[in-house]
């Protein structure tokens, strides 16, 4: 597999509007996409910075992965996302290396991408997301 970009850094927030206004006021940056991703139980906003994004995640309910993360850890860094060209190849290579996969099969992410998560126990506490971008973007 080849990682060709840090696609985004995912940040968990309680209030997406408040967080977006902080990013705008402090850093002068704005979201390019904002969408509800039911499959992940989040409303997300993607703020472009250079060739990567900051992804702000607000849970749709307390009983969702990001909702539970916020309850136990509070706001802040949630995951690191790498862009890959072939997500199936990446998952099978990781499995061969003994990585603990949260998703053995890719699922739908924002922007029409296919994504899969790798458990934080595999990489020193960092949850990693693999992203295979849609060719429409
Ligand atoms: Co993400």
Question: Residue 136: is its pLDDT beyond 70?
Answer: no
- Annotated active-site residue in 40, 43, 79, 132: 79
Q: What would the pLDDT profile of 30-41 be if each residue is shown by its tens digit?
A: 999 999 988 889
| pTM, two decimal places | 0.92
Residues in a beta bridge with 33 = 46
- pLDDT on residue 133: 93
Question: Residue 83: is its pLDDT beyond 60?
Answer: yes
- To the query of whether residue 119 is one of the catalytic residues in this protein, the response is no
Question: Residue 44: is its pLDDT beyond 90?
Answer: yes
- In the chain, the domains with their CATH numbers are 3-132 (3.10.180.10)
**Ion ligand 1 — residues with CB < 5 Å:** 10, 55, 81, 129
- To the query of whether residue 44 is one of the catalytic residues in this protein, the response is yes
Exposed/middle/buried for residue 33 (C-beta within 10 Å: 0-12, 13-18, 19+): middle
Task: Report DSSP letters for 68-131, one per residue.
Answer: HHHHHH-SEEEEEEEEES-HHHHHHHHHHTT--BS-SS-EE-GGG-EEEEE-GGGTTT--EEEE
């Amino acid at each position: 597999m080849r990682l060709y970009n840090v696609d985004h850094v995912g940040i968990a927030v309680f209030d997406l509007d408040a967080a977006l206004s902080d990013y705008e006021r402090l850093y002068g940056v704005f979201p390019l996409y904002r969408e509800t991703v039911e499959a992940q139980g989040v409303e997300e906003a993607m703020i472009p910075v250079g060739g990567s994004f900051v992804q702000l995640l607000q849970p749709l309910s307390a009983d969702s992965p990001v909702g539970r993360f916020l309850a136990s850890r509070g706001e802040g860094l949630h995951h690191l996302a790498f862009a890959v060209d072939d997500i199936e190849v990446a998952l099978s290579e990781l499995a061969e290396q003994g990585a603990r996969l949260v998703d053995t099969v890719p699922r739908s992410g924002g922007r029409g991408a296919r994504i899969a998560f790798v458990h934080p126990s595999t990489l020193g506490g960092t949850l990693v997301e693999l992203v295979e971008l849609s060719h429409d973007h």
